[in-house]
């Protein structure tokens, strides 16, 4: 059976671990060729071996203009187009109000907001008409989470990106959507103290945390023609945590 993303060329930033890796792997399984980025070469090498085929890893940091330029040069030279962008690179560090430093603020905004903007803008010249842009948001953009003032604000801001880009790119039929996970079983949550894990778990109506593969399945939907009449939305995959 043919996959849902046959012949598609995709970019997944932050694609060496967690949600990004699961998404890249799901895309390849659905027939796409995927470029992945990440800051740590050893993690990229491991991800490439795990995915096994139809994947190209490019080391780089989405907050650095030179790294983004290198990324786009490689994609343009090797494939010449992008049909799907998953702006996934990001991190949600904790700092309660009263302890937020300028350094902390700049790091969170650069990675979670600036990186998304300049990834999409830089790739735009080779984005195909009818392409799908998927920004990985967070339930923290819609629901207050103690200690996540800056991260939550950045994720609320990328929600605004999707609304604006939906209108700006409509003549090219390029769709932009937000995919917002709740607590997902990735490295940070796996290493969290038991009381923190239990606190997150208590706020999820489905009674469990999510898996990276479940977010990846939602990304496949948004990347494929199954969602060709869906744009400008925020799709929550959060077990109901931000919904009730």
Active-site residue flag, 151: yes
Q: Is the pTM of this model over 0.85?
A: yes
Residue 150 lies in a domain: yes
Q: Which helix (H) or strand (E) holds 141?
A: none
Residue 78 lies in a domain: yes
Total length of the chain: 244
pLDDT at 182: 87
Report the share of the chain in percent with pLDDT over 90: 80
Residue 148 lies in a domain: yes
pLDDT at 199: 78
pLDDT at 161: 98
Question: What's the CATH code of the domain at 176?
Answer: 3.40.50.720
Mean pLDDT, residues 71-80:
97
Residue 4 lies in a domain: no
CA 11/CA 83 separation, integer angstroms: 8
pLDDT at 168: 98
Report in angstroms the alpha-carbon separations of 132 from 10, 11, 88, 207: 9, 11, 14, 32
Written as six digits, the tokens of 243 are: 């919904």
Q: Which residues, including other chains, have CB under 8 Å from residue 179's CB and lie 6 or more apart?
A: 134, 135, 136, 137, 215, 218, 219, 222, 234, 235, 237
Cross-strand partners of 210: 184
Residue 3 lies in a domain: no
Domain that holds residue 220: 9-236
Scanning 30-64, the segments in alpha helix (DSSP H) are 41-51
| Angle at which helices 115-123 and 65-78 cross, to 10° | 30
Written as six digits, the tokens of 202 are: 């208590």
CA 137/CA 129 separation, integer angstroms: 24
Using one digit for the tens of pLDDT, what is the confidence trace for 33-59? 999 999 999 999 999 999 999 999 999
Q: Which helix (H) or strand (E) holds 27?
A: helix 18-29
CB burial of residue 217 (10 Å; 0-12, 13-18, 19+): middle
Q: Which residues, including other chains, have CB under 8 Å from residue 17's CB and lie 6 or more apart?
A: 38, 43, 47, 186, 187
Residue 196 lies in a domain: yes
Mean pLDDT, the chain, as a whole number? 94
**Among 33, 43, 105, 151, the one annotated catalytic:** 151
Q: What DSSP state is assigned to residue 2?
A: -
Q: Which has the closest alpha carbon to 15: 46, 47, 41?
A: 47
Least confident piece of the model among 122-126, 156-160, 184-188, 240-244: 184-188
Residue 242 lies in a domain: no
CA 178/CA 90 separation, integer angstroms: 14
pLDDT at 202: 83
pLDDT at 100: 95
Residue 168 lies in a domain: yes
How many domains are contained in the chain?
1
Written as six digits, the tokens of 233 are: 């939305």
């Amino acid at each position: 059976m043919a996959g849902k993303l046959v012949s598609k060329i995709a970019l997944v930033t932050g694609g060496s671990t967690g949600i990004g890796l699961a998404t890249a792997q799901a895309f390849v399984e659905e027939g796409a060729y995927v470029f992945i980025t990440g800051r740590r070469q050893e993690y990229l090498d491991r991800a490439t071996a795990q995915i096994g085929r139809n994947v190209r890893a490019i080391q780089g940091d989405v907050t650095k203009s030179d790294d983004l330029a290198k990324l786009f040069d490689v994609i343009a030279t090797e494939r010449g187009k992008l049909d799907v962008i998953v702006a996934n690179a990001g991190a949600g560090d904790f700092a309660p109000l009263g302890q937020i430093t300028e350094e902390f603020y700049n790091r969170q905004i650069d990675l979670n907001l600036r990186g998304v903007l300049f990834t999409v803008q830089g790739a735009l010249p080779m984005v195909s008409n009818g392409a799908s842009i998927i920004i990985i948001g967070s339930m923290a953009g819609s629901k207050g989470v103690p200690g996540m003032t800056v991260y939550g604000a950045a994720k609320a801001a990328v929600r605004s990106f999707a609304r604006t880009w939906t209108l700006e790119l409509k003549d090219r039929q390029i769709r932009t959507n937000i995919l917002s996970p709740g607590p997902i079983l990735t490295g940070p949550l796996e290493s969290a103290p038991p009381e923190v894990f239990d606190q997150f778990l208590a706020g999820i109506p489905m009674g469990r945390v999510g898996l990276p593969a479940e977010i990846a399945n939602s990304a496949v939907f948004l990347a494929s023609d199954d969602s060709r009449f869906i744009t400008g939305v925020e799709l929550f995959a959060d077990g109901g945590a931000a919904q009730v």
